[in-house]
């Protein structure tokens, strides 16, 4: 399995994991269920851990696709920068989740914790979704929205 295959196989894990954990966190906070909130925190930690192989396989994927026809180098660079930021955001979210699980183990968490964690989680969700979208634009011309780019060719008079 090459770097591009690893990157493509794993890149959805931190994205979907973060989205799922954020939904779980919202549900746990609404239900006031510590067990559900703890499961969400574990989901954030798992997403942060899984972000590493995705990030580390990125340069290998870039090397394999950058010279293919239709690849826009600017799209790769934008995705790469977004990936660096997403990795940092995921690590911050995962660290905060780990601290919460350890620091307040067996004790009640402060009232500010839930809302702060939810805002941070929603921010990170937006970051990872944007990163994934930018990655899709590398190979999928239909996803690109380049200013001044010509319209895509149509079939048979569409």
pLDDT in tens, 64-86: 888 888 888 899 999 999 999 99
Nearest to 84 by CA among 126, 113, 127: 127
Contact assessment for residue 57 and residue 156, using Cβ atoms and an 8 Å cutoff: no
Q: Look at phi and psi of residue 35 and say left if phi exceeds 0, alpha if psi is from -120 to 50, else beta.
A: alpha
| Global pTM value | 0.85
Place of tokens 């690109």: 144
pLDDT in tens, 2-18: 877 889 899 999 999 99
pLDDT-based confidence at 143, cuts 50/70/90? low
Nearest to 22 by CA among 93, 85, 101, 103: 93
């Amino acid at each position: 399995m090459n770097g591009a295959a690893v990157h493509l196989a794993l890149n959805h894990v931190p994205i979907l994991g973060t989205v799922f954990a954020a939904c779980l966190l919202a549900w746990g906070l609404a239900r006031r269920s510590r067990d559900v909130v703890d499961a969400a925190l574990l989901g954030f930690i798992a997403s942060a851990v899984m972000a590493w192989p995705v990030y580390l396989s990125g340069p290998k994927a870039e090397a394999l696709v950058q010279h293919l026809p239709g690849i826009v180098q600017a799209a790769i660079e934008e995705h790469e920068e977004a990936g660096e930021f997403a990795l940092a955001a995921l690590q911050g979210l995962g660290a905060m989740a780990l601290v919460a699980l350890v620091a307040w183990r067996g004790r009640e968490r402060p009232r500010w914790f839930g809302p702060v964690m939810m805002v941070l989680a929603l921010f990170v969700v937006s970051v990872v979704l944007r990163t994934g979208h930018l990655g899709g634009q590398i190979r999928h011309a239909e996803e690109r929205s380049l200013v001044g780019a010509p319209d895509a060719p149509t079939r048979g008079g569409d």
